Amino acid sequence: MIELKYLNVCLVEPSIVQAQFIKQELTQLGVTRIEVVGSGADALARIAAGPQLDVLLSALYLPDMTGTELVYQLRTGEVQNDLGFILISSETKPHVLDPVRQAGSLAILPKPFTRNQLQVALNNALSYLNADVERDDFDALHVEDLKVLLVDDSGTARRHVRSILEKLGFEHFTEAVNGREAIALLGESLFDLVVTDYNMPDVDGRELTSYIRQHSAQSMVPVLMVSSEKNEERLAAVHEAGVSAICDKPFDTTSVKQMLAQMLSN
C-alpha cells in the first residue's frame, strides 16, 4: 500500500516561485519524493524515461501546451496512461475545466489553494492508487464475475473509468459511445452494472436511464452516472429517471467504491 511519504510526484510548473511554494506545501503534508519540470514536453519525457511515477500535478498554462493537452496526451499514450493527474489552476470557466474532468483528473485545485484542499486531493490520489489493495467491500460481491456496460462519448473518459473499475476488481467490460448504442447492447446481452456519462449526443444519460427503467428487460440493473453536470434541474430529472447514484467528475475513488458496494449489495 502506497503512503504519502512514498508517493512519487512530478510537478509540472513553469514558474520557479510557484513551483517552490507547491513543493513546500507537499513537503509539509509528508510528501518527500518530488520532481519538478517546467513544460509538458519535459513531463512526457520524464514519464517515458521512468522510473514509474504515481501522481502528476500540473498547472493549466504551460509554455508548450495546456494542462488539458498534457493529460490527453498522457491518457492516449503507451506509457503510464492511467497515471494519477491533478490540475492546479485559477481558471474557473466550465468549458475550460470540463475537458480535464473528462480525461480523468483526480482533482482540480484552485490557485491559490489551501493546505487542506491539497490534502484532500492527495488523499483521493492515494485512494485511487491503493484501490486494488483496499477491496474489502467487494470481496463478497465477486465483482470479477460481473458484466459492466460502460457508456461515454469520450474514449479518454471511458479508459479512465475503466482503469478505476479494474483496480476495484471488475474484469468484464462492454463499451458504448452513446445511449443509443447502449440501448442496442442491452437488447443483446445481460449486464450487472451500467456506468454512464450524462452529456452525450443522440441519447444522453438521462434518456438512457429512463429507457432502462421503463422499456428494458433489465429494468433493475444498477445505473451509476459519472458526470460533471452541475445544473440542479437536470440532475433532479436524472434522479427521477431512476439512476441508482450520481458521482461527480473528478470523483473520489473511495466514494465510488462505497456507492458501488451499496448498489451491488442491494
At the top level of CATH, the class of 4-129 is alpha beta
Q: What is the pLDDT of residues 58-76, one digit of tens each?
A: 999 999 999 999 999 998 8
Domain at 136-265, CATH homologous superfamily: Response regulator (3.40.50.2300)
**Grid cell at residue 236:** 433532479
Q: What is the pLDDT of residue 2?
A: 84
Q: What is the pLDDT of residues 182-227, one digit of tens each?
A: 999 999 999 999 999 998 988 999 999 999 999 999 999 999 998 8
d(CA 165, CA 212): 22
Q: Answer whether 119's CB lies under 8 Å from 113's CB.
A: no
Range of lowest pLDDT (48-52, 56-60, 246-250): 246-250
Do the two domains 4-129 and 136-265 of this chain adopt the same fold? yes
**Grid cell at residue 138:** 467487494
* Enclosing H/E stretch for 67: helix 67-75
pTM of the model: 0.81
Q: Answer whether 200's CB lies under 8 Å from 151's CB.
A: yes
pLDDT over 90 (residue 13): yes
d(CA 265, CA 70): 38
**Domain extent listing, the chain:** 4-129, 136-265
User: How many C-beta neighbours within 10 Å does residue 59 have?
Assistant: 23
